[in-house]
Each structure stands twice: as C-alpha cells, then as structure tokens.
Amino acid sequence: MAEEQGGVPQFALGENARVHHLIGVISGKGGVGKSLVTGILATEIARAGHTVGILDADITGPSIPRMFGLAGAHATAANEQLVPCTTAHGTKIMSANLVLAAETQPVLWRGPVLGGAIKQFWGDTAWGDIDYMLVDMPPGTGDVALTVFQSLPIEGVVIVTSPQDLVSMIVGKAVNMCAQMEIPVLGLVENMSYATCPCCGERINIYGESKLDEVAAGYGLPVLGRLPIDPALAAAADAGTFEDDLPAGLLPDAVKLALSLPELEVSEQEPEAPAPTMAQRAAAAAAEYKAKKAAAAKAEAARAAAAGEDVADMTPHEVR
Ligand SMILES: Nc1ncnc2c1ncn2[C@@H]1O[C@H](COP(=O)(O)OP(=O)(O)O)[C@@H](O)[C@H]1O
Ligand SMILES: [Mg+2]
C-alpha cells in the first residue's frame, strides 16, 4: 500500500522503475540558480558513475532539457508510459518541455493539472533503475512544491539561496516549509556568492561579506557550498553543453553528502484502491446478506435431513 504523508496518498512509481535516492532542489524564489545546482549535482553524481534522473518539476519554467542539450527534444511513449529523454552522457530527463509541441509554448495549466503532471512524470514514466533522482522544484512554496513534498518520497532537499535571500529571509520560508512538511534539509548552497576577477583571480564579494555561515548556523543547517557568478556556467547552460563543459569540483561537499546518503529504494508501489462508492457499498452489503441467508437455510436443511425430517418443503427459498 502506498505510504501516506500527512494523510495524502503518495504517488506510486511505475512498473519496473526503481529509484534509490530522491533529492529535491528548492529555493525561496525563482532565478536564484535551482536549475544550475540541480544540473551540477546531476552531472557530478553521473560522473561518479551513478545512474541519474532529473524530474523537472518546474512545470511552468522548465530549463533542464536545454541545459542538457535536449532543446526541442520530445519524450516518446511506449506501453502506455512516457519514455524520458536521455542526455549524451546517459542522464534521464522528464520535463514539461519534453511533452510540449514547442519550447516556447507557455504552460497555461491550473493547479490540479500541474499536480497531475508531477504524478505522470513520477509514476507514468519508464525511468528504469535510477541511483539518484533529482527533482528541480518550482520556485517558492506554491501548489506544485506542496504536491511534490506530499506525494513523492523526497529523502532530503538542498536549498539554494542568493546573498540577497539570506538578508531578506526568503530562505527562511523554504526552511520552514520543509520543517512543516517534515522533509529533511540536507543543507544550503549559496549561488552567485562572489565573482572572480578575470585579470588577477581575486575573489570579489559583490554583495559584501557573506551571511551564509551565520544564517545556516541559525537554522542548524550545514553549508554545502558556494558558487561564483561565472558567465561560463550560464553559457554552458544556454548552449546545452553543460555535461561536457561543467568544470569539475563545484559543490564537492554537496556531492559527497549525496553520495553518502543511506540507500533508499522506491519501487513500484501498489496503487491506492479508490474508496468504494455508495452504490458499491450497498451492493456489497446486499451480497453479504444474501450469502448469510443462503448459508443459514442450507444449514437448516442439513440439520433437518440429519434428523430424518421431510426436507422437500424446506428447500431454501431464493433469497432476495
Ligand atoms: N552562478 C552563476 N553564474 C552565472 N550565471 C548563473 C549562475 N547561476 C545562475 N545563472 C544563470 O541565471 C539564470 C537563472 O538560473 P537558474 O538556475 O535557471 O535559476 P532557477 O532555476 O532558480 O530559476 C540562468 O540563465 C542561469 O544560467
Ligand atoms: Mg529553474
């Protein structure tokens, strides 16, 4: 039976799919580098020799396919399941952009449909065996983020922040959302933390001294890394050459932590049986009543036969 989280049934994983780790990447708001961090983790974990999947849960702002050279690609279907697209280096990706006719087509879906898309990307997708599934979350604490948190067995999240987020406490919203949903936070990554002077290599703290250590300590969370503002990262993401061009050694602590997480395996779960309707309950009660009456009549006939009574008149009437 599918496990429940806060009374909400969990989405079941599809037939033959296995996910050994499921890590979400979230932020308090958009544009802070969630997809970049998802891409870095996915690329580094794959480089370490693991099978990786990315479930792009940012349905209205998907950017994972383009980063991984899959702009314009389309997911296919086989045996009534979606087949994720596979990158040049073997990472499997499912994203709204892979099921839309064109990358520029806007997603004008309302909440329930968005939730349905998450369900399909998880349960109706032929993922196969995935060591690490990363979920690129939609920004903020909205409907889709809630659906992912309640319906997928997320083992932990990485929270991506920017220097301004730390000051404005936007990161606090993400931390508190996780606490309320009882989702473990693995730690914080500060993106756009600093820049490196192209001439002398000096580190420039554009936003002043980082507050990351202080804020992380305040929440009792580990710092999992800092990323510089680096036009080469944006260029690789835009060009779709991320897997090849990503410099090695970014976010080593985050990668190390992910690789040291205890094994969790999610495989096909029994789908939740739908609650019976009133009519079905009434039919079941009637059938039970009928069976009981028939059994009682049969027992009475057997008793009378044993006692040598004439049972001709005691044949059970058809019970209604
Ligand atoms: N550290 C960075 N250096 C350079 N460009 C970055 C950096 N982080 C993010 N970007 C760029 O900023 C944009 C937003 O980043 P993205 O990861 O898509 O944010 P989010 O997924 O949180 O909305 C993208 O174009 C991305 O390439
Ligand atoms: Mg994004």
Question: Looking at residues 233-258, what average pLDDT do you find?
Answer: 97
Q: Is the CB of 63 under 6 A from ligand 1?
A: yes
CA–CA separation, 242 and 233 (whole Å): 8
CA of 158 to the centre of ligand 1 (A): 16
Tokens of 177: 């959302």
* Residue position matching structure tokens 């004439």: 310
CA of 60 to the centre of ligand 2 (A): 9
pLDDT greater than 60 at residue 81: yes
Residue 208's region, left for phi above 0, alpha for psi from -120 to 50, else beta, is left
CA of 203 to the centre of ligand 2 (A): 26
CA–CA separation, 62 and 218 (whole Å): 32
61 CB contacts (<8 Å, ≥6 apart)? 30, 138, 139
Tell me which residue of 196, 158, 204 sits closest to 39, measured CA to CA.
158
pLDDT, residue 277, reads 64
Ligand with the closest atom to the CA of 237: 1
pLDDT greater than 70 at residue 312: no
Candidates 32, 35, 36, 250: which one to mutate for ligand 1, based on the most atoms within 8 Å of Cβ?
36
Ligand with the closest atom to the CA of 232: 1
Task: Kindly provide the b/e burial profile for residues 258-273, where b requires at least 16 CB atoms within 10 angstroms of the residue's own CB.
Answer: beebeeeebeebeeee
Residue range 170-224, pLDDT digits in tens: 889 899 999 999 999 999 999 999 999 989 989 999 888 889 999 999 999 999 9
CA–CA separation, 207 and 229 (whole Å): 12
pLDDT, residue 222, reads 96
Please give the residue that has the higher pLDDT: either 307 or 243: 243
Ligand with the closest atom to the CA of 39: 1
- Confidence label for 69 from pLDDT (cuts 50, 70 and 90): very high
Instruction: Classify residue 1 as exposed, middle or buried by CB count within 10 Å of its CB (0-12, 13-18, 19+).
Output: exposed
CA of 295 to the centre of ligand 1 (A): 72
Sorted by where each starts, the structural domains of the chain and their CATH numbers stand as 4-319 (3.40.50.300)
CA–CA separation, 186 and 154 (whole Å): 11
The proportion of the chain whose per-residue pLDDT surpasses 70, expressed as a percent, equals 89
Q: Is the CB of 193 under 6 A from ligand 1?
A: no
Residue range 111-152, pLDDT digits in tens: 788 889 999 999 999 999 999 999 999 988 888 999 999 999
pTM: 0.82
Determine the longest span between alpha carbons in the chain, in angstroms.
112
Q: Whose CA is nearest to atom 27 of ligand 1?
A: 234
30 CB contacts (<8 Å, ≥6 apart)? 61, 139, 140
CB 170 within 8 A of CB 160: no
Q: Could you write out the DSSP letters of every residue in 81-94?
A: EEE-EE-TTS-EEE
pLDDT, residue 213, reads 94
Q: Whose CA is nearest to atom 2 of ligand 1?
A: 229
- Confidence label for 256 from pLDDT (cuts 50, 70 and 90): very high
Q: Is the CB of 69 under 6 A from ligand 1?
A: no
Please give the residue that has the higher pLDDT: either 284 or 2: 284
Q: Is the CB of 295 under 6 A from ligand 1?
A: no
pLDDT, residue 290, reads 79
CA of 62 to the centre of ligand 2 (A): 6
pLDDT, residue 285, reads 72
Element (H, E) at 166: helix 163-168
